[in-house]
Amino acid sequence: MLKLDNKPLSYDRAFSHAGIQYPANWLRLSSVEEKTAIGISEVPGPTPFDQRFYWGVDNPKQLNDQPAVDEDGNDLGYTQTGLKTQWKETQSQICDSLLTPSDWRVTRAAELGQAVASAWLTYRGAVRSACNTRQTEINAAADVPALIELLFGQPTITRQQTDSEGNGVVDSDGNPVMETVANPAIATAWPTPI
């Protein structure tokens, strides 16, 4: 982030300083030396954070449902929804969106007394099962970083190989031997649509 007189500057916006008007493209076209000469400094921008899970940097939202209380600790008579409940509801919505396209098959079968193809019944059962498993996994998340990893972690991780006793394996030069494995901390995958 660029600052001049302790005020942030935006690229592609005109600005003025010491009675001189600078055009919108000046920051893009000027050299570091030219920027420094008029007092522009580059400072780190604000630390980013995931607003779905945090109120601010290192300020996570509540994980579990909690009774709402006022500043004196008196119960307000309702529950503040935690991240686990919100993300379990999201899983239900995803489940519904995966089942809805095949609902007509079940309705037609019920109305006409026909059977639903076993592939569709298997798929629909797998979707419901995956939803239940994912909700259980969400309930088991110990903290906000674990919940984020569960929902948005990479499918594979690279780690040091271990021997049968759990000790790290090293090569002849003493370097750790690495392996890529399935990430055990991510949620159960949704079934592939048919």
Percent share of the chain, pLDDT over 90: 98
If we measure between CA atoms, which residue out of 138, 117, 121 comes closest to residue 188? 138
Could you report the per-residue pLDDT of 117-152, keeping only the tens digit for each? 999 999 999 999 999 999 999 999 999 999 999 999
Percent of the chain's residues with pLDDT above 70: 100
Query: Residue 95: exposed, middle, or buried by beta-carbon count in 10 A (0-12, 13-18, 19+)?
Result: buried
Count CB neighbours of 141 within 10 A: 21
Tens digits of per-residue pLDDT, 83-116? 999 999 999 999 999 999 999 999 999 999 999 9
- The confidence score (pLDDT) of residue 46 equals 86
Q: Rounded to the nearest 5°, which phi and psi values hold at 128? A: -65, -40
Q: How far apart are CA 188 and CA 137, in angstroms?
A: 8
Q: Under a CB-based contact definition with an 8 Å cutoff, are residues 55 and 48 in contact?
A: no
Mean pLDDT for 142-167 is 96
Model pLDDT for residues 34-48, shown as the tens digit of each residue: 999 999 999 998 889
Bridge partner list, 9: 2
Give pTM, 2 decimals: 0.75
